[in-house]
Amino acid sequence: MIELVRDTYRYRELIWALALKELKIRYKRSVLGFMWALLNPALLMVVLTLVFSTVMRFAIPHYAIFLLSVLLPWTFFSQSLSYAVESIVSNGDLIKKIRVPKLVFPMAAVVSNIINLLLSLIPLALLVPLLRHPFYWTWVYLPVPLLALAIFTLGMTFFFAAANVYYRDVSHILQILLSAWFYLTPIIYPLDLIPARYQWIFKLNPMIYVINGFRLAVYYGMLPKAPSIVASFVCAFLSLFLGFAIFRKYQDNFVFYV
C-alpha cells in the first residue's frame, strides 16, 4: 500500500499526461472537442428531464435530479472500469518495449474519468436551479463521497485490468456485471422501494454506501450518517487493498501475456 502511494507520487506526471491523452483522443476530430465533456451530460440531462417530467411520471419530485445525483457517479465508475479493463492489454506494445510501471495505465483511466465526472457536475449544478430544486449547502460535502468512490473504483480497476490480461473474457463479463450491478443498486429507484425484509440483501452491495452520499447531499440536502460514511471508506479501502495486491502480484508477468 505504501508502494502504491509512493509510485503514484513518483509517476504523477506520467499518470496525468496519460489521462489527458485519453481525454484528448476521446474528443479528437470532433468540432466541439472538449466541450463534449460538458455537453454530453448536459444533453443527457435534458433528455432525462423531459422523459421523466412528461412521459414517465414518478412520485418522486424532481426525479431528474434524484437520478442524476447518483447516475453521474455511477457513470464515472462504469466508464472507468470499461476503460481500465483494457488498459494493460491495449498498451501491450508499449509494455513489451519500454520498462514502464504498469499501475499508471488503470490509474490514468480513473483520473481521466474523474475529470469527466467533475465536468459533468457543472451542468448538474446548473440544472438544479433550473428545475427550482433547492441548492443545498451540502454540495460542499461532495469531495468526501467522491474520494471514497475514486478509491473504490481504483481498486476494482486494478483487479479487472490484471484479470483481463490472463483471460480476455473478463472484459465481456465485466459489461454484464456492470449492467446487473446498475439495476441492483438503488440508482433509478430509491432504496425504500425494496420491501423491508429484502433490504438487508441490498445493503450487502458496497456501492450503496459509496454512492449514498451523493444523493443525500445533492437531492436531499442531508449528510450521510457516520456508520454509512465509515462503511463507504471500509469498502473503498478493501477494494483498493485487494485489487492492488492482486495487480502487484501479477504485474511482472503481464508482459508475457499481452
Partner 1 sequence: MSSSAFAIRLENVTQRFRVIQERPDTVRELFSKFFRHQSSYHDFEAVKNASFEVPQGQMLGLIGRNGSGKSTILKIVSGVYRPTSGTVQVQGSLAPLIELGAGFHHELTGRENILLNGLLMGYSKREMLERQQGIIDFAEIGDFIDSPVKQYSSGMYMRLAFSVATEVDPQILVIDEILAVGDTGFQDKCFERIRKFRQAGKTILMVTHNMLNVAQHCDRAILVDKGSIMADGLPDDVIEVYKSLLALEAVAAH
Element holding 106 (H helix, E strand): helix 104-130
Residue 39 or 94 with smaller CB distance to partner 1: 94
Cβ 122 to partner 1, closest distance in Å?
Answer: 26
DSSP letter assigned to residue 252: G
Residue 97 or 132 with smaller CB distance to partner 1: 97
Cβ 15 to partner 1, closest distance in Å?
Answer: 9
Instruction: Please answer whether residues 83 and 69 qualify as being in contact, where contact means their C-beta atoms are separated by less than 8 angstroms.
Output: no
Residue 94 or 230 with smaller CB distance to partner 1: 94
Residue 45 or 84 with smaller CB distance to partner 1: 84
Nearest to residue 151, comparing CAs of 227, 47, 247, 241? 241
Cβ 111 to partner 1, closest distance in Å?
Answer: 14
Q: 19 CB contacts (<8 Å, ≥6 apart)?
A: 108, 109, 111, 112, 115
Residue 72 or 88 with smaller CB distance to partner 1: 88
Instruction: Please answer whether residues 257 and 175 qualify as being in contact, where contact means their C-beta atoms are separated by less than 8 angstroms.
Output: no
Which residues contact partner 1 (rule: CB under 8 A)?
A: 13-14, 17-18, 21, 24-25, 28, 93-100, 167-169, 252, 255-256
Residue 141 or 160 with smaller CB distance to partner 1: 160
d(CA 73, CA 193): 21
Cβ 104 to partner 1, closest distance in Å?
Answer: 9
Cβ 171 to partner 1, closest distance in Å?
Answer: 11
Nearest to residue 117, comparing CAs of 75, 89, 88, 86? 75
- What residue type is 15 in one-letter code? I
How buried is residue 245: exposed, middle or buried, by Cβ count under 10 Å (0-12/13-18/19+)?
middle
Query: What's the gap between Cα 82 and its chain centre?
Result: 10
Cβ 252 to partner 1, closest distance in Å?
Answer: 5
